[in-house]
């Protein structure tokens, strides 16, 4: 079926099987490789994107539901050379190790900060449940707080 | 360290040569001397100095200088998160006299000729390349300077260099400009290296060179690789352990939309299709047959992993612990266990392959570029030189990518259709076809003297294989060594002042693949030994930190170990008492000659163990990048915590479970300690191992703290208090 | 295939068309569920028989997992706590950036093994069934103070028409591709039983 949506501000129309996971449309057809495949079961969060501003795991989201929606991926988080506060904070705290899960974490964090601009440690624990095998959680927590502060400063 | 194993300066290359000689000796000798040789080899391996197994003579294989005066460093070591690219850039920048921003590190394709003979693993990348890379970079610098002197018509001695710009008598040339004019290079003698104190980047917390790409989500991983006109493959993988492929009914799959070809091989069946979903859907429709000999359960595996079964190998011996611990009422005994562990790295295994005639190109996340190349060449029946492995960034390594049959499968699919094919594991296959961390069983025995100090101690470890069966090592190693080096890693007694001690490794071959998992046996062995040390200290009525310090010998290894123990205890404000519902736990280990001590602060909340703070002192000799040493400690601590507290695979009717994150519980944000304090000591001035050693102490440190809180000694991973 | 934007109105048109079609057509389903053959009951159920059948469903884990006693949903055939420490959140739809819809959409996703239905959410706390007896569950669903202010007729309609309730008979497959267990009474029999029970005045046995 044909599905149209806005992705990182660009309208796209794809013609694929209606149940194709949105993740593969994003990665294989639209060639945006920042959204990662980790498990395909909505368990690891490596494919977290925003759909109409909400954090969604793209591997468990059939493309047909994307009709008319506005999608943001890690490639759309920064604007030109200007990094999103979450990305800035991730740079400042030198969070990534292997880096594979990091786009998903940054997308989940960006969604969190839209809902809770100054999250507590408890908020972070409750909302950020992606999986990082390099276990960069210690720096991520610092970076999430830092991102909240950057967002506040630049407001 | 045992006194008989003090031989230093055993390079791995020398060791392998000696192995060949050793075999002759062994074949002609009796049991006793064979054991002596084995123990000698075990000791030598334990104190092995890392040495790099690739080209260290040709700077041009390593460095490419662009007209824009950028240096491209072609790294034969892969970047899997450990920060090696950054360390290499720092080292190279300092000797090349360029700014680190001028250096771009890329993975060397195997066709470039800059090929690592072994692997990226064992925490040896920075330590092994420390000397060769500095020499290569310094030589490269001199090479460019000589050419510049010629071009500028001045003597080399008159040149000054800054940020890749060579200046003499008011004239300046960039490296890039110099290089452009040179058609033939003369490799000079290796110039003297700079004193470490003059380095501008080595020893500094330089940001990772791959930081921006990773924050932007750039397509740098194997999973992101593409080739023009690429098709998608899927391979049917065995659903259970011990299963042998016995043909498949592919009729239905062949008719499915998008299917280009069903590929039937003697050992597997796969499909190539026009899209990933078409390939996956067709794969689901293939009815593969598997033969199995028996149905395995977790209990069967546990019954195999048992000290006392199989062949014992004494890998460490000092004094006569055996006689002292043979009988007597005053012998203290304890048992410990660890489960099957999964790698669970986030990027699944897979590859993009293109086989054209007698040539092949493979883009892949691999820790063993040369092995991958050899395996693909062998399967395709072509020359190794005709296979170009293009390594990508790894979405986690942890030992999972030290064996890469996925490259062969992708190559076979590509050959069958004559086009590039991308073929990856799904997550269930990752969990069920992993090369697991083997389960272990430990029996410890000790006898205390009148003062409560250890008179004799023995550590028995039974484990599945780690090194044996790995294509990285020759089959020759197996009869030669007897005991599996990986299984006993971290299993030796590090308290050399104890008069009698020995370590015995019991080898078990399990019916499924067990292999390298970050730090190998270190986590489980340290969990057992350091929990037992805690028990002995409490029995002796001594402070566990003082108790350890008092039983460490005074040689270099002992001195370094004592210094990290003291540093961790001091930084953490060590106290052996429960305050406000929180207790501390202590443990220490030495791995690949890097000592590490950790103090944890733990409470029990909602019937779960909660680790609040970890203080870690480590002595990697010299920290090329202190920030990345910290990062490795933080990650290793949380990964070790995760394995200690939550992770476990089980076997039910020959199927390995769980097959997914969540049920395979791993530490999440909420489980990670809120505070991790890392103290870095640099006692030798030469960089040593970093990536794995900090995984050692964490498990025992947590269990020791839990004992103080609950009075319960937890002897099995994953730790359970409910 | 990528079709770049050609006109500003075109996508809107497509959106209206496709959206309209989606709205009209029944949701597609990849589930392997078979068409059920419903045995016809010879005689109408009396109130107590109907109660028995209704309760066989309402006490099934497919229902109770999302009617938990606390603030943590349960999942699976063994009713373990939902993985990753998932929580109820203020509006029963999860927490701020980890809502139910982060993973669960309007229908089952059988590639991922993630179940879905419209308005995927937890039953409000007042509707907790976990740990309750059949009698207590029945009292709870008849009590407007706890059942969301529903009349008996509205409760019947909730039990027999709400898509999230009826999902119990189309529960899809799990992460390993294994079909989830359905309640022991068929959907048709359950709907009949609910109606028969209500028609009989929704009697509740003494125990």
Place of tokens 């499968």: B409
3-state class (DSSP) for residue B31: helix
Q: Is the pLDDT of residue B18 over 50?
A: no
Closest Cα in chain B, distance from residue C175 (Å): 7
| Subunits adjacent to chain C (3 or more Cβ pairs under 8 Å) | A, B
> Which run of H or E residues covers position B151?
helix B125-152
Asked if A128 lies within 8 A of C97 by C-beta distance, the reply is yes
Which residues on adjacent β-strands are paired with residue B354? B361
Closest Cα in chain C, distance from residue B212 (Å): 25
Residues 6 or more apart from C183 whose CB is under 8 A from it?
A: C56, C57, C60, C62, C63, C168, C169, C190
Looking at residue C8, its pLDDT comes to: 38
What's the per-residue H, E or C state across B463-527? EECCCCCCCCCCCCHHHHHCCCCCCCCCCCCCCCCCCEEEEEEEEECCCCCECCCCCCCHHHHHH
Of all residues in chain B, what percent carry a pLDDT higher than 70?
95
Across the interface, of C14, C86, C106, the residue whose CB is closest to A2 is C14
pLDDT tens profile B621-673: 999 999 999 999 999 999 999 999 999 999 999 999 999 999 999 999 999 99
Task: Let me know: does B345 contact B400? Beta carbons within 8 Å.
Answer: yes
Query: Token digits for B450?
Result: 């009148």
Cα C160–chain centre separation: 10
The size of the A-C interface in CB pairs under 8 A is 114
Give the count of beta carbons closer than 10 Å to the beta carbon of residue B306.
15
Query: What are the respective helix, strand and coil percentages of chain A, to the nearest 5?
Result: 40, 15, 40
Per residue of chain A (155 residues), what is the pLDDT tens digit? Answer: 999 999 999 999 999 999 999 999 999 999 999 999 999 999 999 999 999 999 999 999 999 999 999 999 999 999 988 999 999 999 999 999 999 999 999 999 999 999 999 999 999 999 999 999 999 999 999 999 999 999 999 87
Which residues on adjacent β-strands are paired with residue B387? B360
pLDDT tens profile B203-222: 999 999 999 999 999 999 99
Residues 232-291 of B with CB under 8 A from C: 280
Across the interface, of C2, C28, C98, the residue whose CB is closest to A30 is C2
Number of alpha helices (DSSP H) and beta strands (DSSP E) in chain B: 20, 26
| Average pLDDT of the residues of chain B | 93
The complex's ipTM works out to 0.98
B382 compared with C3, residue with greater pLDDT: B382
What is the rounded CA–CA span in Å between residue B447 and residue C15? Answer: 79
Looking at residue A22, its pLDDT comes to: 98
pLDDT tens profile C79-116: 999 999 999 999 999 999 999 999 999 999 999 999 99
What is the rounded CA–CA span in Å between residue B484 and residue B477? Answer: 9
Residues of C in contact with B660 (CB under 8 A): 175-176
Place of tokens 């392997």: C32
Closest Cα in chain A, distance from residue C18 (Å): 8
Q: Is the pLDDT of residue B372 over 70?
A: yes
Lowest mean pLDDT among A104-113, B484-493, C29-38, C145-154: C29-38
Residues of B in contact with A94 (CB under 8 A): 207-208, 211, 627, 631
* Residue ranges of domains in chain B, CATH in brackets: 3-46 (no CATH), 59-216 (3.30.365.10), 222-292+349-424 (3.30.365.10), 299-341+435-710 (3.30.365.10)
Give the count of beta carbons closer than 10 Å to the beta carbon of residue B239.
17
Looking at residue B33, its pLDDT comes to: 62
Task: Let me know: does A144 contact A119? Beta carbons within 8 Å.
Answer: yes
Looking at residue C43, its pLDDT comes to: 60
Looking at residue B219, its pLDDT comes to: 94
CB of C14 within 8 Å of any CB in chain A? yes
Distance (Å) of CA B230 to CA B145, B260, B376? 45, 12, 19
Phi and psi dihedrals of C27, rounded to 5? -60, 140
Residues 6 or more apart from B511 whose CB is under 8 A from it?
A: B241, B242, B296
Looking at residue B48, its pLDDT comes to: 76
Q: Which residue of B has its CA nearest to A101?
A: B346
As a residue count, chain A comes to 155
Substitution target in A2, A3, A4 with the highest count of C β-carbons within 10 Å is A4
Query: Token digits for A12?
Result: 């796209």
What is the rounded CA–CA span in Å between residue C134 and residue C155? Answer: 16
Looking at residue C44, its pLDDT comes to: 64
Across the interface, of A125, A130, A134, the residue whose CB is closest to B635 is A134
Looking at residue B663, its pLDDT comes to: 97
What is the rounded CA–CA span in Å between residue B633 and residue B611? Answer: 16
Q: Cis omega (within 30 of 0) on the bond before B718? A: yes
Query: Token digits for B161?
Result: 């260099």
Lowest mean pLDDT among A127-136, B12-21, B71-80, B607-616: B12-21
Mean pLDDT of C17-21: 34
Mean pLDDT of C1-12: 37
Q: Which residues of A111-142 are buried (b: 16+ CB within 10 A; e: fewer)?
A: bbbebbeebeeebbbbbbbbbbbbbbbbbbbe
Phi and psi dihedrals of B288, rounded to 5? -90, 145
DSSP B410-449: HHHHHHHHTS-EEEE--HHHHHHS--BBPPEEEEEEEEE-
| Subunits adjacent to chain B (3 or more Cβ pairs under 8 Å) | A, C
What is the rounded CA–CA span in Å between residue B498 and residue B164? Answer: 55
* Residue ranges of domains in chain A, CATH in brackets: 2-76 (3.10.20.30), 85-154 (1.10.150.120)
pLDDT tens profile B107-142: 999 999 999 988 999 889 999 999 999 999 999 999
Mean pLDDT of B682-706: 97
Closest Cα in chain C, distance from residue B389 (Å): 31
Task: Let me know: does B664 contact A41? Beta carbons within 8 Å.
Answer: no
């Amino acid at each position: 079926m044909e599905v149209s949506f806005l992705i990182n501000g660009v309208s796209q129309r794809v013609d694929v099987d209606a149940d194709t996971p949105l993740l593969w449309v994003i990665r294989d057809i639209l060639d945006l490789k920042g959204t990662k495949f980790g498990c395909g079961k909505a368990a690891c969060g490596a494919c977290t994107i925003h759909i109409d501003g909400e954090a969604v795991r793209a591997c468990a989201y059939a493309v047909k539901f994307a009709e008319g929606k506005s999608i943001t991926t890690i490639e759309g988080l920064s604007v030109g050379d200007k990094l999103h506060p979450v990305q800035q904070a991730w740079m400042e705290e030198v969070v990534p190790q292997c880096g594979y899960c990091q786009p998903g974490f940054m997308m989940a964090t960006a969604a969190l900060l839209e809902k809770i601009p100054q999250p507590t440690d408890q908020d972070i624990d409750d909302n950020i449940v992606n999986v990082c095998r390099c276990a960069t959680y210690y720096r991520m927590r610092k970076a999430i707080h830092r991102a909240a502060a950057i967002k506040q400063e630049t407001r | 360290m045992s006194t008989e194993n003090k031989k230093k300066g055993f390079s791995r290359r020398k060791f392998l040569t000696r192995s060949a000689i050793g075999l002759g000796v062994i074949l002609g000798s009796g049991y006793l001397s064979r054991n002596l040789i084995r123990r000698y080899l075990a000791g030598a391996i334990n104190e092995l100095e890392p040495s790099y197994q690739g080209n260290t003579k040709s700077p041009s294989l390593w460095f490419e200088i662009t007209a824009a005066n950028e240096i491209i460093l072609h790294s034969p070591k892969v970047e899997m998160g450990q920060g090696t690219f950054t360390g290499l850039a720092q080292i190279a920048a300092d000797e090349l006299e360029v700014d680190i921003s001028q250096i771009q590190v890329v993975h060397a394709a195997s066709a470039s000729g800059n090929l690592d003979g072994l692997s990226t693993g064992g925490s040896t990348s920075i330590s092994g390349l420390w000397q060769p890379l500095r020499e290569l970079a310094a030589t490269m610098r001199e090479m460019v300077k000589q050419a510049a002197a010629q071009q500028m018509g001045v003597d080399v001695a008159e040149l000054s260099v800054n940020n890749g710009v060579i200046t003499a008598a008011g004239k300046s040339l960039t490296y890039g400009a110099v290089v452009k004019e040179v058609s033939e290079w003369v490799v000079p003698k290796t110039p003297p290296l700079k004193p470490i104190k003059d380095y501008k980047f080595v020893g500094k917390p330089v940001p990772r060179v791959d930081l921006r790409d990773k924050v932007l989500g750039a397509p740098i991983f194997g999973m992101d690789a593409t080739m023009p006109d690429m098709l998608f493959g899927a391979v049917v993988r065995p659903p259970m352990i011990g299963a042998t492929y016995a043909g498949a009914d592919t009729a239905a799959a062949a008719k499915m939309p998008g299917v280009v070809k069903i590929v039937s091989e003697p050992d597997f069946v796969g499909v190539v299709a026009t899209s990933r979903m078409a390939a996956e859907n067709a794969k689901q429709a293939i009815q593969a047959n598997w033969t199995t000999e028996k149905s395995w359960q977790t209990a069967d595996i546990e019954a195999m992993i048992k000290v006392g079964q199989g062949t014992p190998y004494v890998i460490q011996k000092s004094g006569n612990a055996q006689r002292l611990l043979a009988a007597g009422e005053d012998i203290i005994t304890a048992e410990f266990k660890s489960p099957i562990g999964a790698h669970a790295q986030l990027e699944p295994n897979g590859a993009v392959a293109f086989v054209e005639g007698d040539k092949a190109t493979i883009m892949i996340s691999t820790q063993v570029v040369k092995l991958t190349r050899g395996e693909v060449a062998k399967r395709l029946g072509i020359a190794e030189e005709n296979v170009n492995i293009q390594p990508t960034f790894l979405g986690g390594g942890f030992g999972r990518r030290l064996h890469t049959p996925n490259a062969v499968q992708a190559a076979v699919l590509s050959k069958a259709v004559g086009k590039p094919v991308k073929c990856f594991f799904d997550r269930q296959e990752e969990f069920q076809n992993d090369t697991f961390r083997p389960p272990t069983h430990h029996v410890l025995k000790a006898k205390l003297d009148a003062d409560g100090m250890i008179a004799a101690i023995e550590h028995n470890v039974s484990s599945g294989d780690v090194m044996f069966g790995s294509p990285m090592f020759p089959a020759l190693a197996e009869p030669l060594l007897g005991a599996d080096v990986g299984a006993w890693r971290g299993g030796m007694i590090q308290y050399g002042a104890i008069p009698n001690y020995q370590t015995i490794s019991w080898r078990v071959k399990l019916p499924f693949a067990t292999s390298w998992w970050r730090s190998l046996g270190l986590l489980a062995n340290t969990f057992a030994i350091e929990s037992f040390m805690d028990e002995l200290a409490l029995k002796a009525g001594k402070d566990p930190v003082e108790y350890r310090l008092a039983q460490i010998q005074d040689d270099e290894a002992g001195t370094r170990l004592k210094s990290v123990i003291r540093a961790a205890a001091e930084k953490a404000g060590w106290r052996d008492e429960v305050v406000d519902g929180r207790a501390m736990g202590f443990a220490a280990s030495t791995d690949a000659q890097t000592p590490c001590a950790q103090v944890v602060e733990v409470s029990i909340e909602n019937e779960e163990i909660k680790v609040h703070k970890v203080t870690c002192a480590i002595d990697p000799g010299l920290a090329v990048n202190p920030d990345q040493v910290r990062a490795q400690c933080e990650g290793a601590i949380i990964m070790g915590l995760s394995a200690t507290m939550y992770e476990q695979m089980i076997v039910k009717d020959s199927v390995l479970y769980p097959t997914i994150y969540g049920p395979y519980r791993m530490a999440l944000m909420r489980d990670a300690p809120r505070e991790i304090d890392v103290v870095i000591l640099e006692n030798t001035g030469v960089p040593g191992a970093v990536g794995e050693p900090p995984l050692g102490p964490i498990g025992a440190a947590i269990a020791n703290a839990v004992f103080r809180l609950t009075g319960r000694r937890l002897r099995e991973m994953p730790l359970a208090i409910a | 295939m990528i079709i770049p934007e050609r006109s500003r109105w075109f996508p809107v048109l497509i959106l209206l068309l496709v959206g309209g079609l989606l709205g009209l057509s029944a949701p597609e389903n990849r589930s392997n569920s078979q068409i059920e053959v419903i045995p016809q009951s010879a005689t109408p159920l009396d109130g107590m028989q109907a109660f028995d059948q209704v309760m066989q469903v309402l006490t099934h884990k497919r229902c109770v997992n999302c009617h938990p006693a606390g603030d943590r949903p349960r999942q699976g055939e063994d009713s373990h706590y939902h993985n990753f420490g998932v929580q109820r959140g203020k509006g029963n739809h999860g927490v701020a950036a980890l809502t139910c819809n982060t993973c669960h959409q309007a229908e089952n996703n059988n590639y991922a093994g993630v179940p879905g239905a419209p308005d995927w959410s937890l039953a409000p706390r007042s509707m907790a069934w976990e740990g309750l007896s059949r009698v207590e569950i029945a009292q709870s669903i008849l009590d407007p103070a706890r059942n969301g202010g529903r009349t008996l007729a509205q409760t019947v309609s909730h039990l027999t028409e709400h898509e999230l309730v009826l999902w119990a008979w189309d529960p899809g497959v799990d992460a390993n591709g294994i079909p989830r267990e359905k309640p022991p009474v068929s959907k048709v029999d359950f709907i009949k039983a609910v109606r028969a029970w209500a028609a009989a005045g929704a009697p509740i046995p003494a125990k």
